[in-house]
Chain A
Amino acid sequence: MQHDQAQHRPTDLDEIPKIVESLHAHFNTNKTKPIEWRREQLNKLYSFIIDQESLLAEALYKDLRKDASSIMADIMIVSREAAHTIEHLEEWTAPQASHKTLFTMFDNNQTLTEPLGVVCIIGAWNYPIQLVLGPMVAALAAGNCILLKPSEISTHCEALLAEWVPRIFDTDAVKIVTGGISCSTVLLQQKFDHIFYTGNGNVGRIIMQAAAKNLTPITLELGGKCPTYVDDAVNVDVVAKRLVWAKLLNAGQTCLAPDYVLVHKAVMPQLLAAVKKAISELYGLDTKNTAHYGRIINKNHTQRLAAVLERQLALSHSNVITGGEYDIDSHYVAPLVVAQVRETDPLMEDEIFGPLLPILEVENEDEAIRIINKRDHPLCLYINSDDKAVVRKIVGSTRSGTVSINDYLVNMIVSDLPFGGVGASGMGKYHGKSGILTFSNQRAMVWRKSDMLSEKIHELVYPPFGLKPLPFALVNYFTGYRKPSDFKLAFNRYVPVRFILGVVVVGLVFEIGRRVGRGGPFFA
């Protein structure tokens, strides 16, 4: 596929510090803090996605040859996220009152959810729109000034964002810079209040090290090899179909794509047949000429995949079920399924990020757990089983960013589910409330009184103590000292005290009212 050069120019490197500075200055005007402003910006973001769908679709098709349904999955999720956030914004950012103790009973104590300041969002090329606008929803909702840096690899989407972001958003608070590695390098030297990066682990490390110099908090959304386990208690056809669908979506270039498959030996032959069948059912026999089969982003990545593929197929034990063809010039790699892959094979080295599916045979779920735990914690873990005990066992003995059972990627649609990795697959979460918290400073506020009474209580802790007795119990009492009591625990859990009190009091009040006013005109 030809990549026609996008028309926009990369941002002048000298401009970047000025842009960041202007954002800091704008943040200090407090204009981004009112909830109305945030809502207005989110509304605009929503309308942009809905109104300019065809433009977005065109850019995504040019960059990644995404078909209509993956475009839907890519960008409509953001509009959903925006609508969901608008709906809950007030509730998520409301101050939380603290419990009272005798020491602080006259005070106004709240935890405020405040914006962090100027945040930088660095997108990735595999979902070039979603991975920029998605975090942006959370950052806007939290009331931050934002600097966007879309991926320079997905050129068309970059150009589109560079053109439209200044048109739709408040240009004082939202800026966009474009460019390659030199741009990112300059960007990382700037002082931000948060950096949100989606991409790979190596760059993630560089970003964290750069952030450490300024003590900038970061969110890293990285990838990793997401394992899939297929138990013997499954409906093989359904499993195969979902697996193929998730793996070949966006030609495997999804951070959540199932990377390698651990199959229970009892269902191995059936599964292999079913996978082969599912591929031809979903994409036909000639994937190169199927309109809805995606392409690899660029030549480099195609070559990388071709190299891994060749190295794997050179091993005599590899059992190719289907695929193996590729065409570097047109960025095409056919869906490849290899069985009898071993843990040390080339396909098991790095994240594949392409339509290559290695299948490993395991004895049972215990061996699967052992293999999963030996490797880095994945972003997502997939389990296919109708046996709940097996599922619970695997979920309970592994760690992963998210876990999805009997299906793939669906966690993206569920708005309230925190999304993010753990260990090597990243740190920090977003989507829904967790996104707002990522981009917020939870500021504790204690507002005390300085009247006589408060000061008298306060005197308990002033030196010198030699002059006044300091009974332990008294201070304990004033600071709200509590003992862990099992009874209280059970009581709090099982008895809805306030609710019952409400019922009783309302009942009593009206009973009294009824008796007093019996026969009167009101109750007649």
Chain B
Amino acid sequence: MTVSSTATPLTEIEAAVAQLRVTFGTNKTKAISWRKQQLRQLYAFIRDQYPLIEAALKKDLNRNPADTQLELVILLNEVADAIEHLEEWMKPTASAPTLLTFLDTAVTRREPLGVVCIIAPFNFPVQLLLGPLIAAIAAGNCVVLKPSEMATASEALLIEWLPKILDMDAFRIIVGGVKETTRLLEVKLDHIFYTGSTSVGKIVMAAAAKQLTPVVLELGGKSPVYIHKDVDIEVAARRMCWAKTMNCGQVCIAPDYVMVHQDIVAPFAAALRKVLLEFYTEDAKKSTEYPRMINQAHTKRLVNVLDRQLALKHSELVIGGDHDVSDRYIAPTVVSNVKVSDPLMEDEIFGPLIGILSVTGEDEAIEIIQSRDRPLALYVSAKDTRVVNKILDNTISGVSVVNDYVFNMVLGDMPFGGVGSSGMGAYHGHSGFLAFTHQRGMVWRGTDFLTETVHKFMYPPFASSPFALFVSRVAVVKPLPSEFGLLLRKVVKRVAPILGQFALLAVAFYVGRSFQAGAGVASKSTPVLGSAFAGKVFQIVSNATESVLRSGSFVGLMDLVRGKK
């Protein structure tokens, strides 16, 4: 495939956004039918053009078919999820009435933000552009898309295909690099969704500050791993190698540095070596399934870090270390005995290098994690649940996965996003919809006599009179809920649906009774089959109900039935 994409002229960027504003003004994108249609189109594109996408990713990153598949299935699921829940997500939610507002309609509306911009990185050029796009479409926005210029084949594919499938009145693709992106950030947008590095994230946020544009930043950071001494070493090693070599380590939630309990450092390193040989043989360069770095610059960056690390006397190379910059190849590499201040511990690695730190236990691991920036993902492998809970309770991270890696991506209903320097805001599923939605509170009051009478208590000078003050105090001040009240509330919440079921059965019981009587009379005078049959059915139901009503302890049983512990 030849790359024929030419950069969007800088002068056209503002016009593109202006045109989207016009489209947004027509309210076309707000209709649920439009959103669903666009989502269906996107779904069909991913499903039908699967081989094309796979080929593009192979070209850009030598992505193996399994990773592409996982990525695209996640994407498809996300579209399906959005279509399935869209109506539920869009529905305005009513607020609890108060004494002053019980006559009114008070709801929270879910409205689109307007013209939003999605900037995607190179490491998952398709997923990280289309994933946020799904959320943006679901929320009803017009979207400016900026695919990564580094993943050239994927960029070309998206430029070619998106206009074919989407309603291009509401979407625009900006092609280009830093210059074009800078110009885009100068234009007034209603939301910016950026996925990429921490340093650029800061630039994006500073640019957004000038226009007061809200941002979602999906950044990376060094995601720590702690391996406790009680783990199944081979399983832990295999999962780590899988996650670390996926996409050649160019995953924002890839495990970055590994803190291993001092008792098992040697066996764990040996296991890593064994698994890597199993996965990619002696020479990973020849393995067709071993991915590549995105470009030579990134390869050089990694080679530089690796050289600096290996120059330190204390570092022990367990496996790997080969590289070929012209082929964008870095062998899966494990370096043991890394220290906290080493080159491998400076920036996010974003490549297939594993640095092993030996720690005395979970306390030291917590200390190291706390002393660094907050990671996007935190990984703990341990059998002892107390160790896991201790680490989770004492650290902060965007996501945390225990005994495995990156699995939160499979679960489409989990919010995905960083905290602190690993980003702000989250998406996937409902949280993605909310990220692109403005939650607009609406109060609709009447002007009738009754409402106006209530309102009198707020008008001066009457409002300041002792009587009015007393009344509005009663209306506004809520008594402090007691512990008993809170408990009662919890119980009622549990029991209410069960009572509902009983009410229904009770109604069936009495209807059945009357039918039974009615059917008996009817069959004597005019034989009506239907009513006799209905009477029989109701009789059975009513008998059952009677049993229920007579029995004592049904709550526990209901809980069983409803699958609650």
Interface status of A304 (Cβ within 8 A of chain B): no
- Contact across chains for A402 and B209 when beta carbons are under 8 A apart: no
Given A101-B410, A447-B402, residue A472 in contact with residue B69 (CB < 8 A): yes
1/0 per residue, CB under 8 A from B, across A340-367: the answer is 0000000000000000000000000000
- Of the candidates A208, A480, A502, the one whose C-beta lies within 8 Å of that of B209 is A208
Nearest A residue to B74, CB-CB? A479
Closest to B47 in A: A483
Interface residue tally on A, bucketed by range:
35 or more
Question: Do residues A417 and B441 form an inter-chain contact, with CB atoms below 8 A?
Answer: yes
Minimum Cβ distance to chain A for residue B108 (Å): 6
Known A76-B473, A79-B477, A413-B100; contact A242-B455, beta-carbon cutoff 8 A: yes
A331 CA to B545 CA, complexed, in Å: 73
Verify B279–A462 contact, CB threshold 8 A: yes
Is A253's beta carbon under 8 Å from chain B?
no
Contact in complex: A423, B477 (CB < 8 Å): no
User: How far, in angstroms, from A73 to B288 measured CA to CA in the complex?
Assistant: 70
Q: A83-B478, A208-B205 are in contact. Are A514 and B543 (CB under 8 A)?
A: yes
Q: Is A3 an interface residue (CB 8 A)?
A: no
A463 touching B242, Cβ below 8 Å: yes
Q: Does A213 contact B (CB under 8 A)?
A: yes
Q: B27–A507 contact, CB under 8 A?
A: no
A418-B404 contact in complex given A235-B447, A282-B459, A479-B77, C-beta closer than 8 Å: no
Give chain B interface residues in 21-40, CB to chain A under 8 Å: 25, 27, 30, 39-40
Interface assignment of A37: CB less than 8 Å from any CB of chain B? no
Measured in the bound complex, the distance between the Cα atoms of B414 and A101 in whole Å is 13
Chain B residues in 8 Å Cβ range of A400: 440
Q: Could you tell me if B393 and A30 are in contact, using CB atoms closer than 8 angstroms?
A: yes
* Residue of A397, A443, A461, A476 contacting most chain B CB atoms (<10 Å): A443
- Of B153-161, B500-508, B522-530, the one touching chain A: B500-508
Q: In the complex where A463-B245, A480-B77 touch, is A445 in contact with B399 (Cβ < 8 A)?
A: yes
Query: For the complex, is B324 an interface residue (Cβ under 8 Å from A)?
Result: no
* Given A211-B205, A405-B442: A410 touches B235 (CB 8 Å cut-off): no
- Among candidates B111, B414, B455, B486, residue contacting A109 with C-beta atoms closer than 8 Å: B414
- Let me know if A513 and B551 touch, CB within 8 A: yes
Report B283-327 residues with CB < 8 Å from chain A CB. Answer: 287-290
Q: Chain A residues with Cβ under 8 A from B87's Cβ?
A: 489, 493
Contact of B443 among A407, A447, A511 (CB under 8 A): A407
Number of inter-chain CB pairs below 8 Å: 403
**Is the CB of A239 closer than 8 A to any CB of chain B?**
yes
In the assembled complex, A199 has its CB within 8 A of some CB on chain B: no
Residues of B within 8 A of A90 (CB): 486, 490
Contacting pair A417 B501 (CB below 8 A): no
- Set of chain A residues within 8 Å of B280, measured between Cβ atoms: 463-464
Do B443 and A410 have beta carbons less than 8 Å apart? yes
Nearest residue, chain A, Cβ from B198: A215
Q: How distant is the Cα of A352 from the Cα of B88 in the complex, in angstroms?
A: 40
Q: Which residues of A contact B558 (CB under 8 A)?
A: 502, 506
- Which of B289, B420, B421 gathers most chain A CB within 10 Å? B420
Q: Are A499 and B497 in contact (CB under 8 A)?
A: yes
Contact call B396/A117, Cβ cutoff below 8 A: yes
* Interface residue? A124 (CB, 8 A): no
In the complex, the chain B residue whose C-beta lies closest to that of A208 is B209
A282 to chain B minimum Cβ distance, whole angstroms, is 5
Contacts of A22 in B (CB 8 A): none
- CB contacts (< 8 Å) of A201 on chain B: these are 212
Distance to closest chain B CB from A512 (angstroms): 9
- In the complex where A442-B431, A464-B279 touch, is A507 in contact with B480 (Cβ < 8 A)? no
Q: How far apart are A381's CB and chain B's nearest CB, in angstroms?
A: 9
CB of B473 within 8 A of CB of A72, answer: yes
Contact among B93, B459, B489 with A245 in the assembled complex (CB-CB below 8 Å):
B459
Contact of B66 among A68, A204, A443, A461 (CB under 8 A): A461
Q: Does B262 reach chain A (CB closer than 8 Å)?
A: no
Residues in chain B near residue A493, CB distance under 8 A: 87-88
Docked pose: A499 CA to B239 CA in angstroms: 41
Interfacial chain B residues near A458, Cβ < 8 Å: 239, 404
Q: A502 and B472 in contact (CB under 8 A), knowing A415-B95, A444-B414, A470-B65?
A: no
Contact yes or no, A98 B413, CB < 8 A: yes
Answer yes or no: A103 CB below 8 A from chain B CBs: yes
| A50 in the interface (beta carbon within 8 A) | yes
Q: B98 touching A413 by the CB < 8 A rule? A: yes
Whether B455 and A407, one on each chain, are in contact in the complex, defined by CB atoms closer than 8 angstroms, is yes
User: In the assembly, what is the distance between CA of A410 and CA of B318, in Å?
Assistant: 67
Indicate if A178 sits at the interface (CB-CB under 8 A): no
- A298 interfacial contact with B, CB 8 Å: no
What residues on A are CB-neighbors of B400 within 8 Å? 443-446
- Interface presence of B64 (CB below 8 A): yes
Find the B residue at minimum CB distance from A108.
B402
**Which one of A145-153, A168-176, A265-273, A448-456 is at the interface?**
A448-456
CB distance B235 to A450 under 8 Å? yes
Assess the A465–B477 pair: CB atoms within 8 A.
no
Instruction: Using known A-B contacts A463-B64, A484-B83, determine if residue A80 contacts B441 with beta carbons closer than 8 Å.
Output: no
A205 to B472, CA, bound (A): 38
Contact B106 A484 (CB under 8 A): no
Contacts of B383 in A (CB 8 A): 450
Q: Are the C-beta atoms of A282 and B460 separated by less than 8 Å?
A: yes
Interface centre among B43, B214, B426 (most CB of A within 10 A): B214
Q: Which 4 A-B pairs have the closest CB atoms?
A: A208-B209, A69-B463, A417-B441, A212-B205
Interface residues of A (CB under 8 A from B): 28, 30, 33, 43, 46-47, 50, 67-69, 72-73, 76-77, 79-80, 83-84, 86-87, 90, 98-99, 101, 103-104, 107, 109, 111, 114, 116-117, 193, 201, 204-205, 208-209, 211-215, 217, 220, 222, 234-235, 238-239, 241-242, 245, 282-284, 290-293, 373, 384, 386, 391, 395-397, 399-407, 410-411, 413-419, 422-424, 426-429, 434, 441-450, 455, 458, 460-466, 470, 472, 475-476, 479-485, 488-489, 492-493, 498-499, 501-503, 505-511, 513-514, 523
Give 8 CB contacts A-B under 8 Å.
A68-B463, A73-B476, A212-B203, A212-B209, A426-B212, A450-B235, A484-B83, A506-B501
Known: A406-B445, A465-B65. 14 other contacts (CB 8 A): A73-B458, A83-B480, A107-B407, A212-B202, A396-B30, A399-B111, A401-B440, A426-B212, A428-B214, A434-B439, A458-B404, A499-B500, A502-B501, A510-B547
